[in-house]
RNA sequence: GGCGGGGUAGCCAAGUGGUAAGGCACGGCUCUGCAAAAGCUGCAUUCGUCGGUUCGAUUCCGACCCUCGCCUCCA
């Protein structure tokens, strides 16, 4: 069964067929962060989604060349650089590093390229030059350069490929002041913003005078530079479809005359505790906030991966607690399998299970169905384990099956916590007390350990300590 | 106002023109000195509302209600 994804261009689920069937890697571009602050959990839903897409394509045997940009110049960044009296590079460097670290916390595979906008000014200028040469862009009296949607349409190009647009009905300019620009038409957007005093040191020379790039042009310049004028797959959050991605298409196709991206995918936003995240509601979480509250990256990743990417998802603290329990169940099963498998490490995975898992994902990444396959599989294994019916070879095979599925999920196994020797001593004491039927003392020691963050698990093979 | 998603058990969330996956929570059981942990097991006559098509609709059609997103800051 072929991989099928919803394509925003066609508004339907269609087979994912690479541009180059001969085997050139799939070019995949995901709009990255604007590094003006620590990224929040909503941002990470999109990046975990992109990571799932990439991992699944690789699982299905595609080679993927993954590019994710870092937007390190933009209005908000400039304002905050000015306010914090620092340099652009210093300011953005801090948040870029934090962002990349956060991605590692969520076990997202690193992109093959993470280009910074400020390092592709030359390419952006060149792209703008081409657009002006083709008569699609113009310099306004304010010295800024704008993209003309009328001219673009006049060339037979289509503006409004990702969203249905009806300019007569649109409330253009309602939410954002439009009188600060001298555009020919309200819908036109900036390619190059002329330098203004508030920009401080943040400007570059260009044929149109000093200034800085508009927001959309960076993605066109960097994606085409690294992946070619036409590439396979472009992803981002749903809010980016318009205008950002629409404008990327216009700039790129306007400049090259070639189709830009074959397949567009957009991830839905998330709600937190049923409401749109906002600082005033107290439901605004960065990844770091959640880690501080005691969650782990894998729990957060798991929770973000429990819902379909095109549905808005309600992220809750209850859900996070549930994620911990659910993962523990998987971990427990794997630990038992490892114990039985012992030295038997090489085994072929269970292809029937893998096929069920993969076909769920083939269907536009139906991750819920994929989890159902996993939990059914876990229950079957647990039944067999409880009945002592699992020999080392099937245990090893099950572990191999998990390992293969986990290349897509990126959940991994729970890291084994080292038990401090003094706690082991307490455990020994408690075992001795129990043996002597001094249950009062045994229970006291159990409570003591619990207070120290370790639970005693009395199993058929003796007592074990487990980190809470 | 235009465009686009959604409304399925306490919560999260799949799915199908033929009688509702999975996870969490909760109850029961096994294990235990008692617990915990773990495992097993049970848990929606019902899919926003009202109509229509149909032998049969949660699934298709229509209307309505609610909700979320986009309409040049946005993952």
CB A327, CB A414: distance < 8 Å:
yes
Rounded to the nearest integer, the mean pLDDT of chain A is 90
More confident residue, A170 or A409: A409
Q: Is CATH 1.10.10.10 what the domain over A272-409 is classified as, yes or no?
A: no
Q: What is the pLDDT of residues A145-165, one digit of tens each?
A: 999 998 998 888 889 899 877
Q: Whose C1' is closest to the CA of A373: which nucleotide?
A: B22
How far apart are alpha carbons A308 and A158 in whole angstroms? 30
How far apart are alpha carbons A391 and A394 in whole angstroms? 6
Q: Estimate in Å the CA A41 to C1' B75 gap, whole number.
A: 9
Architecture of domain A4-267 in CATH? 3-Layer(aba) Sandwich (3.40)
Q: Estimate in Å the CA A40 to C1' B66 gap, whole number.
A: 28
Q: Whose C1' is closest to the CA of A332: which nucleotide?
A: B38
How far apart are alpha carbons A253 and A259 in whole angstroms? 6
How far apart are alpha carbons A128 and A333 in whole angstroms? 57
Sequence spans of domains, chain A: 4-267, 272-409, 421-467
How far apart are alpha carbons A193 and A171 in whole angstroms? 23
- Once rounded to an integer, what is the mean pLDDT over residues A180-207? 87
How far apart are alpha carbons A239 and A236 in whole angstroms? 8
How far apart are alpha carbons A388 and A62 in whole angstroms? 40
CB A232, CB A263: distance < 8 Å:
yes
Percent of chain A with pLDDT over 70: 96
Q: Whose C1' is closest to the CA of A310: which nucleotide?
A: B5
Give the pLDDT confidence score for residue A228 in this predicted structure.
95
Q: What is the pLDDT of residues A52-81, one digit of tens each?
A: 999 999 999 999 999 999 999 998 899 999
- Once rounded to an integer, what is the mean pLDDT over residues A219-237? 96
Give the least confident one: A145-149, A320-324, A414-418, A447-451: A414-418
Query: Has residue A449 got a pLDDT over 60?
Result: yes
Which band of pLDDT confidence, cut at 50, 70 and 90, is reported for residue A96? very high
Q: Estimate in Å the CA A184 to C1' B1 gap, whole number.
A: 24
Which band of pLDDT confidence, cut at 50, 70 and 90, is reported for residue A465? confident
- Once rounded to an integer, what is the mean pLDDT over residues A17-39? 91
- Residue of A65, A53, A85, A30 whose CA lies nearest to A410: A53
Nucleotides of B under 7 A from a protein CB: 1-6, 11-15, 21-25, 31-41, 68-75
SS3 for A219-236 is: HHHHHHHHHCCCEEEEEE
Measuring alpha carbon to C1', the residue closest to nucleotide B69 is A239
Give the pLDDT confidence score for residue A451 in this predicted structure.
82
Give the pLDDT confidence score for residue A457 in this predicted structure.
83
Q: Estimate in Å the CA A405 to C1' B69 gap, whole number.
A: 32
More confident residue, A412 or A51: A51
Which band of pLDDT confidence, cut at 50, 70 and 90, is reported for residue A1? low
Whole-model pTM: value is 0.93
CB A83, CB A197: distance < 8 Å:
no
A370, burial (CB in 10 Å: exposed 0-12, middle 13-18, buried 19+): buried
Query: Has residue A418 got a pLDDT over 90?
Result: no
Query: Has residue A288 got a pLDDT over 70?
Result: yes
> Please, where are the H alpha helices in A257-296?
287-292
Which band of pLDDT confidence, cut at 50, 70 and 90, is reported for residue A178? very low
Q: Whose C1' is closest to the CA of A302: which nucleotide?
A: B23
Give the pLDDT confidence score for residue A458 in this predicted structure.
82
Q: Estimate in Å the CA A349 to C1' B59 gap, whole number.
A: 36
Which band of pLDDT confidence, cut at 50, 70 and 90, is reported for residue A284? confident
Query: Has residue A170 got a pLDDT over 80?
Result: no
Among A121-125, A181-185, A270-274, A426-430, top mean pLDDT goes to: A121-125
Which band of pLDDT confidence, cut at 50, 70 and 90, is reported for residue A175? very low
List, as one string, the DSSP characters of A313-349: EEE-HHHHHHHHHHHHHHHHHHHHHHHHHTT------
More confident residue, A185 or A128: A128
Query: Has residue A173 got a pLDDT over 50?
Result: no
Q: Estimate in Å the CA A45 to C1' B20 gap, whole number.
A: 29
Which positions ≥6 away from A263 have C-beta within 8 Å?
A5, A7, A9, A16, A232, A233, A234
- Once rounded to an integer, what is the mean pLDDT over residues A307-313? 91
CB A180, CB A165: distance < 8 Å:
no
Q: Whose C1' is closest to the CA of A189: which nucleotide?
A: B72
Q: Estimate in Å the CA A315 to C1' B46 gap, whole number.
A: 26
**How many residues can be counted in chain A?**
468
Helix axes A297-304, A317-341, angle to 10 degrees: 110
User: How many CB atoms are closer than 10 A to CB A225?
Assistant: 18
- Once rounded to an integer, what is the mean pLDDT over residues A263-292? 87
Measuring alpha carbon to C1', the residue closest to nucleotide B21 is A372
- Once rounded to an integer, what is the mean pLDDT over residues A238-262? 93
- Once rounded to an integer, what is the mean pLDDT over residues A406-413? 92
Give the least confident one: A27-31, A37-41, A176-180, A286-290: A176-180
Query: Has residue A262 got a pLDDT over 90?
Result: yes
Q: Estimate in Å the CA A388 to C1' B25 gap, whole number.
A: 30
Give the pLDDT confidence score for residue A398 in this predicted structure.
96
Q: Whose C1' is closest to the CA of A242: which nucleotide?
A: B70
């Amino acid at each position: 069964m072929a991989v099928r994804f919803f394509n925003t261009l066609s508004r339907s689920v269609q087979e994912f067929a690479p541009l180059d069937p001969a085997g050139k890697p799939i070019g995949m571009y995901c709009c990255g962060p604007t590094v003006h602050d620590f990224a929040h959990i909503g941002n990470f839903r999109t990046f975990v989604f992109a990571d799932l897409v990439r991992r699944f394509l690789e699982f299905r045997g595609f080679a993927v060349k993954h590019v994710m940009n870092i937007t390190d110049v933009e209005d908000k960044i400039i304002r905050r650089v000015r306010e914090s009296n620092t340099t652009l590079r210093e300011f953005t460097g801090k948040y870029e590093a934090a962002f990349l670290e956060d991605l590692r916390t969520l076990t997202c595979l690193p992109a093959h390229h993470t280009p910074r906008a400020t390092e592709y000014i030359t390419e952006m200028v060149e792209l703008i030059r081409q657009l002006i040469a083709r008569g699609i862009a113009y310099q306004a009296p304010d010295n800024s350069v704008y993209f003309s949607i009328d001219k673009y349409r006049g060339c037979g190009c289509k503006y409004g490929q990702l969203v249905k647009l009806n300019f007569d009905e649109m409330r253009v300019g309602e939410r954002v002041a439009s009188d600060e620009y001298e555009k020919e038409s309200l819908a036109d957007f900036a390619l190059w913003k002329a330098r203004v005093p508030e920009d401080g040191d943040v400007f570059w020379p260009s044929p149109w005078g000093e200034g800085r790039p508009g927001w959309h042009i960076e993605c066109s310049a960097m994606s085409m530079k690294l992946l070619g004028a036409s590439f396979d797959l472009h992803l981002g959050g749903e809010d980016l479809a318009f205008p950002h991605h629409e404008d990327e298409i216009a700039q790129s196709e306007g400049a090259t005359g070639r189709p830009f991206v074959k397949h567009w995918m957009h991830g839905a936003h998330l709600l937190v505790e049923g409401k749109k995240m906002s600082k005033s509601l107290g439901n605004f979480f960065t990844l770091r906030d959640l880690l501080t509250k005691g969650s782990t990256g894998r729990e957060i990743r798991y929770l973000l991966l429990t819902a379909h990417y095109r549905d808005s998802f309600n992220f809750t603290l209850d859900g996070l607690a549930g994620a911990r329990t659910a993962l523990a169940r998987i971990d427990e099963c794997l630990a038992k399998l490892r114990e039985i498998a012992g030295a038997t490490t090489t085994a072929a995975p269970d292809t029937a299970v893998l096929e069920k898992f993969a076909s769920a994902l083939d269907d536009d990444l139906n991750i819920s169905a994929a989890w159902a396959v996993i939990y059914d599989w876990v229950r079957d294994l647990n039944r067999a384990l409880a009945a002592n019916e699992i020999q080392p070879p099937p245990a090893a095979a099950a572990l191999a099956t998990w390992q293969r599925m986990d290349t897509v999920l990126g959940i991994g196994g729970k890291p084994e916590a080292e038990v401090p020797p003094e706690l082991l001593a307490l455990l020994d004491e408690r075992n001795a007390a129990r043996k002597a039927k001094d249950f009062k003392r045994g229970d006291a020691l159990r409570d003591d350990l619990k207070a120290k963050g370790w639970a005693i698990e009395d199993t058929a093979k003796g007592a074990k300590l487990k980190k809470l």
